[in-house]
Amino acid sequence: MTILAEIERAQDGALLARLARATDLSSADARLALSAFCPAIARQLEARVASDAQAYDNLASHLDDGTGGDLLADSDALLSAETAEDGNAILADLYGSRDAAIRAMREMGPRLPEMALLRLAAMAAALVLDAMVRNHARLSLTGAMPAASGGGLLGTIVSSIVRGAVQGAMRQLAPRRRHRRRYTDYFARRRRPTRRRRRRGPSLEDVFAEILGVRHR
């Protein structure tokens, strides 16, 4: 599921409304800003890990640990100073500096008030990583289960069972993700360059395709 779709559905729409109130924007303006910021940040991260083996491994470790993935269910956490700090660290890391990131966001939201832009940019960056953790966990679960073959009633029943099992497993996993490790726990590491390690389960490319709503070429 794309990041924007998840944000719109979170808390039956209440999350987007709260973000709008927190930034003194209308829900429509907050949605428009996030619909631009989140994909842009995700693509920046995708380009970074595609060209940097160490960044690839750091992101893979972040996803494999499974910490995070809870911001959409916890408005207070999303609006917290800790999340803002984490989001700004992500922006600075991906764009070279926070100022450079804000300039890039400003081009996408030229009419946004300054404080609203700053807060939404940081939240968007945190939401990108959060969405990657959540979708990685979801793809890991569905990838481990046999796909329903064929159509008809049997295929529908099996698909429903698989979906129910995945949703139940996701609910069981969610509490363990409450204690989130910080972005800088992974990406502030400075180790010597390394080759990408082989991964089991969904690839980073699969996760990016999921949150961006694109298909592999």
C-alpha of 19 from chain center: 17
Show Cβ contacts of residue 185 under 8 Å, excluding neighbours closer than 6 positions: none
Convert the pLDDT of each residue in 95-105 to its tens digit. Answer: 999 999 999 99
Confidence of residue 92 (pLDDT cuts 50, 70, 90): very high
Convert the pLDDT of each residue in 154-208 to its tens digit. Answer: 444 444 444 444 445 444 444 444 445 566 665 555 444 455 555 566 889 999 9
DSSP string, 115-160: HHHHHHHHHHHHHHHHHHHHHHHHHHHHHTSPPPPS-HHHHHHHHH
Is this structure's pTM higher than 0.75? yes
> Across residues 78-82, what is the average pLDDT?
93
Closest CA to 174 of 76, 82, 74: 74
Contact 11, 95 (CB under 8 A): no
Residues 123 and 125: their CA atoms lie apart, in Å, by 5
Contact 86, 182 (CB under 8 A): yes
Show Cβ contacts of residue 118 under 8 Å, excluding neighbours closer than 6 positions: 102
